[in-house]
């Protein structure tokens, strides 16, 4: 595995629609592994192939849904953190959106030091292929739905700043959690 360079604005690849993947060969498997390593080292919770200078429809997402906090009156010990779950989606397509939308703060590894308020669908259903070309379907909500929408936008040349109601520079860019 090799950590790849993350492409940043104004690189034009970030504005291109990525091509569908049709070959599930060793090169693709190497790209998937490299993207996972790059995302983890960044650190981020998602990464799209155009962000590593490959204009193909591939995203990786790794995130653990947070447990609800114990209420103060509960005597039980705190639960250990949930393990992160890794998703690899090829040629992903959002096939169903919830009507409900929520606003949240996003950042992006390709636009360092910037965050913005972005309204996204609360829940989505995604169809695509796994890293071996087998059909895959996901239903996600909350923060996971936000991450997947953000990464799929990258495959269409759309950045979170295009959807943001408000964008701002961070005083301390190192403190930001970047989506991807």
Catalytic residues: 151
For CA atoms 166, 12, 15, 43, the dihedral sign is negative
Phi/psi region, residue 91 (left: phi>0; alpha: psi -120 to 50; beta: rest), is left
- Inter-residue contact 66 to 97 (CB < 8 Å): no
> Distance (Å, rounded) from C-alpha 39 to C-alpha 36?
5
For 80, the token pair is 């250990």
Q: Return the number of other C-beta atoms located less than 10 Å from residue 66's C-beta.
A: 10
């Amino acid at each position: 595995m090799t950590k790849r360079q993350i492409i940043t604005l104004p690189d034009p690849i970030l504005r291109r629609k990525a091509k569908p993947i049709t070959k599930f060969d060793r090169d693709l498997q190497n790209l998937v592994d490299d993207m996972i390593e790059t995302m983890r080292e960044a650190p981020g919770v998602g990464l799209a192939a155009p962000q590593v200078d490959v204009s193909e429809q591939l995203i990786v997402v790794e995130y653990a849904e947070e447990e609800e906090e114990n209420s103060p009156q509960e005597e039980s010990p705190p639960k250990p953190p949930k393990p992160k779950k890794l998703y690899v989606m090829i040629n992903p397509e959002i096939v169903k959106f919830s009507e409900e939308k929520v606003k949240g703060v996003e950042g992006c590894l390709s636009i360092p030091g910037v965050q913005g308020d972005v309204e996204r669908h609360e829940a989505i259903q995604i169809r695509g292929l796994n890293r071996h070309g087998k059909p895959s379907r996901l239903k996600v909500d909350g923060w996971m739905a936000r991450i997947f929408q953000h990464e799929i936008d990258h495959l269409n040349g759309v950045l979170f700043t295009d959807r943001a109601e408000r964008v701002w520079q961070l005083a301390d860019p190192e403190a930001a959690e970047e989506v991807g």
